[in-house]
Amino acid sequence: MDNLCTLIVDDSSVMRKIVERSLRQAGLGISQVLEAGNGAEALTAVEQNKVDLILCDINMPVMDGLEFVKQLSTMEKAKGVPVVMITTEGSEGHVVQALSAGARGYIRKPFTADQVKEHVLPVLGGKQ
């Protein structure tokens, strides 16, 4: 599968563009990119689309990334969809919280395209 639909969740539109560019530079077979500015918008996007991969910030208004991942884990439609957190909150506690909530990977900002590839590729399994 090389036509991945990716959802990028971040309250910064500049950061969403950087993440998208990093994914494309990494050559991960991204065909469609959806954007959301917070967790609530992201849940709606997942409801309305067939999403293969989610990259998500933690600190966001309305609904933060950890709450989003928790709610996502209860959605039938989202079963098996990997979530990788991309955030400035890089402490061990935050990593544990995110992974416990259901995230499959964790990338600290600032990051490089290579680091995005390194963390995203394993969670895609056979999809890429």
Site residues (vs other proteins, CB under 8 A):
11-15, 17-18, 21, 59, 61, 87-95, 106-112, 115
Instruction: For other proteins, give the closer residue by CB, 42 or 106.
Output: 106
Residue 53 in contact with residue 82, Cβ under 8 Å? Answer: yes
Q: What is the CA radius of gyration of the chain?
A: 13
Instruction: For other proteins, give the closer residue by CB, 73 or 118.
Output: 118
Instruction: For other proteins, give the closer residue by CB, 11 or 52.
Output: 11
Distance in angstroms (rounded) separating the CA atoms of residues 36 and 57: 10
Distance in angstroms (rounded) separating the CA atoms of residues 116 and 45: 22
What single letter denotes the amino acid at residue 23?
L
Q: How far is the CB of 119 from other proteins (least distance, A)?
A: 9
Q: How far is the CB of 125 from other proteins (least distance, A)?
A: 22
Distance in angstroms (rounded) separating the CA atoms of residues 21 and 40: 24
Q: How far is the CB of 122 from other proteins (least distance, A)?
A: 15
